[in-house]
Structure 1
Amino acid sequence: MSEYISAPHCFLKDGIFYFQRRVPAELRRHYTSSKISYSLRTRSARVASARAARAASQLDEYWYHLRSQDADLPGKHMLRLGVSGTARQAFEDGSVNIDCMSLSEAVVTYLRLKGCDKGITFHRAAERACGYVIDTCGDKPLTSYRKADANAFRDALIARGMAGSSITRVFGTVRSIINFAANEEGIELTNPFGKVYYDRSAGVSDRRPIPAEAIRTVQAECYRLDDEMRWLVALVADTGMRLAEAAGLLCEDIMQDADGNFTARITPHPWRRLKTASSTREVPLVGSARWAAERLLDAQDGTGFAFPRYNKTGTTNANAASAGLNKWLKPYVPDGATLHSFRHSMRDRLRAVECPADIVDQIGGWQTEGLGHGYGTGYPVAVLRKWMQSATVSVA
């Protein structure tokens, strides 16, 4: 009996401690039972007490979120999924009541069918965008939204200080979710979130390319400091890769041919997805990018992550890379320029040597318009290398 008293939320059965906690009455609709009970897999009261206390703390935190989710509070969209109990049940059993499908249920349908192989960014974008609608207009059946709701939603996004480009992305996500869910469940409606007017250029600043002289200065500093952070800058500077593409590389993704040329294979990984299908490609490494490849392969013994400092968890931390590297880069480039500006510069550099547009697209992983461009496997790496060498501004 003394052991039982010393381990709160526990009971003994055949010498094994079990955790038990009653579900609060107002939250029971979220559960299939009125109490939670399971084995703690220990005969020690001390171990059981620690495990039970941790479980009770986790439950208290989760129940707080469930209560907050049910309340009509600003910021509901920031909660995971942000859907009602009805929608959560629809998510679990795969069924949705067509006659009363709400926007939150539409989000569940959309993510269940289209989000199964997508990353967390895709899910968060859908939940956040529709969460904004729910905060502004309420969680209504899809057929109940009117043009006035869409206009009020637009005004709310503008009041948040969103730029025109951000508003466009949010509206696009909401339209896609409503159209997809309505089509999937056979609901006929005119989407009121289409053709909503707002200034798409408001708050949008052009990303300026980095001039050749500034690129040379940055590369010279990379050679001088010669560390992992600068290798990443040097790699991006002479390839125009997206920062996440470069930061998520494996050493095995960097290949060397019989002539000593280096090429980076950009391919999806579980820790780093690619932005578009056309982003999968092979990029020749010339100039500072070749120098960076040689340095990092030597440092990492040719195996594992090319940039381990940005891959310490299950996801490439491109945000940390961006924050740190942009801060370092700022004194060497024009105002407003960032690491992503190297991507703009690469396009201009290739234009300057009269590189054909479809080769530019293949190097940068941009989508090339036109039916014919979907045929074949593209230009050989040797052709890409020739044009990139023509456009190099390396100092070494």
Structure 2
Amino acid sequence: MVQKRQSNYIESKHGYFYYCRRVPKRVLQHYRLDRIRTSLHTRHPEIARRRAQKISYELEREWEVLTFSALGNWANKFRQDYSPALTTALVSPTESFSNSPLLTEAAEYYLSQKGTNRPEEFYGSVRRAVRYIEESVGIHPINAYNRELANAFRDYLIQERGLSTASAKRIITTIKAIVTFTAREKDLPTVSAFSAIHFAEPNKGSILRKPIPVAHIRKVQTECLAIADDPRLTIALISNTGLRLAEALGLQASDVVLTDNPHIIVQPHPWRRLKTAESERIVPLVGASLSAAKLLISRCRALSAPLIPKFCDGKSTKANSASGALNKWLKPRVPDGCVVHSFRHSLRDRLRNVECPTELIDELGGWAKASVGQHYGEGHSIEMKSQWMLKISED
């Protein structure tokens, strides 16, 4: 297809936009080619326009430096002791960022320092975020990123990638973590470009998860225990405990205690970290969740073995693939808008309905503590927790 010339040095070819601009003669000696041509990695005209403006700004800044910033080079010609051999080399337009690593370098440094005992998902999320920013505004030294670039990155995630606001925020937070950590550890100026990014529609694309009614929970539990394979037992285990899916999948046999006051010990493992500090907790096993735990334990050959081997091999936890499979099976059995995570929402409602104290509810679910006082002491006893959990097994 013949290229179509656009404004702002933009061309289109096969639906994609390209930046194309001739190098001025005054700086041509510094380039291998007489024309700058690069893909803008988009089919969206407005995004292409913004990226082209950014490239033009960077090029013009570089050409100005090449032409004028080496002041000593041309001023020396008027001095009595002028010698061409003593002229100063031209200053690179990125010299002010010479001590600042590229974002890709910062990401690898971040992974090397923060990736110990992290699952593959952590590495994947960091590299995915870097790939997205490369596709949108390009890879630069971390101190070269400004609010204009950060906002363009936000727009790319929302408008071109079609991500929800929540997903875009998570990705931007990942980039923020990379540049903040690297700048601090390398004793570089603070990078604030990715802090407090504004979103015009803060809830765009967010899905409100609904709790599952108790009648549906009972039917699902009965069917899960009848089938009794790993996926169904996972659902049954979650149904009366309110565990997050990743928390349940990452359990090993030793985390399940089936003696007096049966319970689960939710704690971090190398293959599965916990979401927050409050997530580390003890949750009683009652009803269908207790039955599921007993069946899963009976299949484990050692206390160090993963409790649910279909989704955890002791090295990584396959939470994403498990979520898709379990939600697909669950969908026709629960009301619209309900997913596996909805059991967690239901747990809170069920505990409210039996008038369980709010502080104990927060402790059972691993939710953030509402007051400073809740951080004092060791929390409720397993006996007290079991008493309240037994009430919801009969609701």
TM-score by length of 2: 0.69
How far 1:301 moved relative to its partner?
Answer: 6.3
Please give the alpha-carbon distance, in whole angstroms, between the structure 1 residues aligned to 2:222 and 2:99.
65
Q: Say if 2:324 is the partner of 1:323.
A: yes
Q: In the superposition, relative to structure 1, how do residues 146 and 377 fare at CA in structure 2: closer, same or farther (>3 Å)?
A: same
Q: CA RMSD in A?
A: 2.5
- Aligned-partner residue type, residue 138 of structure 2: G
**1:267 Cα deviation after fit:** 2.0
Q: How far apart in 2 are the matches of 1:334 and 1:102?
A: 48
Do 2:240 and 2:286's aligned partners in 1 also have CA atoms closer than 8 Å? yes
Look up the match of 1:148: 148
* Partner residue, 1:169: 170
The equivalent residue for 1:380 is 381
Classify 1:108/1:317 alpha carbon distance in 2 versus 1 (closer, same or farther; 3 Å): closer
Determine the C-alpha separation between the residues in 2 that align with 1:144 and 1:318.
36
Amino acid at match of 2:366: G
Alpha-carbon displacement from aligned partner over 1:69-104 (angstroms, at most 9, x marks no partner): xx98969xxxxxxxxxxxxxxxxxxxxx96242222
- Residue 273 of structure 1 is matched in structure 2 by 273
Residue identity matched to 1:353: V
Q: Give the distance between the partners of 2:225 and 2:326, measured in 1 at CA.
A: 15
1:205 paired residue number: 207
More deviation in 246-255 or 205-214?
246-255
Secondary structure of the 1:127 match is helix
Deviations 1:245-303 (A, max 9, x none): 2223223221123x4x3111122223333222322221100111111122233344675
- Residue 101 of structure 2 corresponds to 101
Equivalent residue number for residue 308 of structure 2: 307
Equivalent pair of 1:208/1:341 in contact (CA under 8 Å) = yes
Confirm or deny that 1:236 pairs with 2:249.
Answer: no
Question: Which one of 245, 248, 258 corresponds to residue 247 of structure 2?
Answer: 245
| Matches of 2:108 and 2:228, distance apart in 1 | 48
- For residue 110 of structure 2, what is the aligned residue in structure 1? 110
**How far off is 1:170 after superposition?**
1.4
Q: Could you tell me how far apart the structure 2 residues matched to 1:331 and 1:244 are?
A: 23
Change in Cα spacing, 1:302 to 1:173, as seen in structure 2 (3 Å) is closer
- State the percentage of identical aligned residues: 41
Offset at 1:189?
4.3
Aligned to 1:217, which of 216, 219, 222? 219
1:28-67 map, 5 Å: none
Residue aligning to 1:85: none
Deviation at 1:111, TM superposition (A): 2.3
- Equivalent residues of 1:297, 1:306 under 8 A apart: yes
C-alpha spacing 1:195/1:273, structure 2 compared with 1 (3 Å): closer
Residues 107, 98 of structure 1: CA spacing in aligned structure 2 closer, same or farther, 3 A cutoff?
farther
**Matched-pair contact (CA < 8 Å) for 1:216–1:393:** no
CA 102–308 in structure 1, closer or farther in 2 if over 3 Å, else same:
closer
SS at 2:275 equivalent? coil
Q: Residues 182, 227 of structure 1: CA spacing in aligned structure 2 closer, same or farther, 3 A cutoff?
A: closer
Q: 1:218 to 1:107 in 2, by over 3 A?
A: same
Alignment of 1:292-371 (within 5 A): 292-300=292-300, 303=303, 304-312=305-313, 314-371=315-372
Structure 1 pair 163/237, CA: closer, same or farther in 2 (3 Å)? same
Cα distance in 2 between the residues matched to 1:256 and 1:200:
44
Q: CA deviation at 1:207?
A: 0.8
**Separation in 2, partners of 1:323, 1:176:** 28
Which of 226, 229, 232 is the matching residue for 1:227? 229
Secondary structure, aligned partner of 1:264: strand
The answer as to whether partners of 2:284 and 2:385 remain within 8 angstroms in 1 is: yes
2:119 touches 2:316 (CA, 8 Å); kept in 1? no
Give deviations 1:333-352, integer Å, cap 9, x for gaps: 01121111101111111122
Q: 1:73 to 1:273 in 2, by over 3 A?
A: farther
Unpaired runs of at least 5, structure 2: 1-37, 43-96
One-letter amino acid of the structure 2 residue matched with residue 267 of structure 1: Q
Q: State how far apart, in whole Å, the 2-side matches of 1:327 and 1:143 are.
A: 45
One-letter code aligned to 2:106: A
* TM-fit CA distance, 1:322: 2.3
How many residue pairs match? The answer is 301
SS of the equivalent of 1:307 reads coil
1:16-60 CA-to-partner distances (Å, cap 9, x unmatched) read xxxxxxxxxxxxxxxxxxxxxxxxxxxxxxxxxxxxxxxxxxxxx
Cα distance between partner residues in 2 of 1:227 and 1:122? 29
Aligned partners of 1:253 and 1:266 also within 8 Å: yes
TM score, norm. by length of structure 1: 0.69
Question: AA paired with 2:153?
Answer: F
Structure 1 spans left out of the alignment, 5+ residues: 1-70, 76-96
1:211, distance to aligned residue in structure 2 (A)? 0.9
CA distance in 1, matches of 2:124, 2:230: 31
Which AA in structure 2 matches 1:306? L
- How far off is 1:384 after superposition? 1.0
SS at 1:205 equivalent: coil
- Give the direction of change, closer, same or farther, for the CA distance of 1:72–1:120 in structure 2 (3 Å limit): farther
For 1:185 and 1:230, the matched residues in 2 are separated by 49
What is the CA distance between 1:208 and its match in structure 2? 0.8
The answer to whether the Cα contact below 8 Å between 2:175 and 2:194 also exists between their aligned partners in 1 is yes
On the 8 A contact 1:255/1:264 being kept in 2, the answer is yes
**Secondary structure of the corresponding residue to residue 308 of structure 1:** coil
SS of equivalent residue, structure 1 residue 222 = helix
CA distance in 1, matches of 2:388, 2:314: 37
